Amino acid sequence: MPLIEVPFTPAAAPLPPATERLLADADTRIDDLRRRDPEGLGSFVPADYAWVHAGLAAVRGGRLAPGSNFLEWGSGVGVAACLAATLGFDSAGIEAQAALVEEAEDLAASHGLAVAFAHGSFIPPEHDGLADVADDLATLATGLADGHDALGLDPSDAALVYAYPWPGEEAVVEAVFEAAAATGALLLTYRSTGDLVLQRKR
């Protein structure tokens, strides 16, 4: 069944001080990585994380997700997964760039957040063929181990999946979610336009 868009209204609001410190630390780390090892960033581009926090808070506050398990696909330095943890989600992330996994683990630990990260692909092996729907702008990594296995999770364990797909990758993320997520689970995507889109698997 196709995914259905879920109306929701994230509201920009002052961030808690601990969240402000988390985002400031993340910004510093990203800037340091850009200077020190720009190749290590791969295709990573940061989102507007204050707006992502607003979206996650709207999902959490509105009790829109069918559970508390959160999974970030393409977690980068782990900011969204850390934000989810501050909001009470049981949080984890999967990232294709090993150096970014290490940075994400350090970010979470530095702020006392229990977030698990794994190096690998968010596309389960049985759904590898779904990557073929990406267009020429996509930057998806292939040939990696299944990140869900590394976390000891099944894709269907996640009540809420978050991703920031590059232009050309949106269809892949949606197709993988539709194929692998549990019925009722939510997919929250940050788009290159700055929009947040919330969808549910029927």
Ordered domains of the chain (ranges, CATH): 15-200 (3.40.50.150)
The CA-to-CA distance between both ends of the chain, in Å, stands at 6
**Rounded CA gap, 133 and 89, in Å?**
31
> What pLDDT does residue 103 have?
95
Average pLDDT over residues 180-189: 98
User: What tokens does 138 get?
Assistant: 């996509």
> What pLDDT does residue 78 have?
97
Residues contacting residue 158 through CB under 8 Å, at least 6 positions apart: 69, 70, 71, 181, 182, 185
pLDDT at 134 over 60: no
What is the CB neighbour count within 10 angstroms for residue 154?
13
185 confidence band (pLDDT: 50, 70, 90): very high
Q: pTM of the prediction?
A: 0.92
Average pLDDT over the chain, rounded to whole?
A: 91
> What pLDDT does residue 34 have?
84
- Phi and psi (nearest 5°) for 15? -80, 145
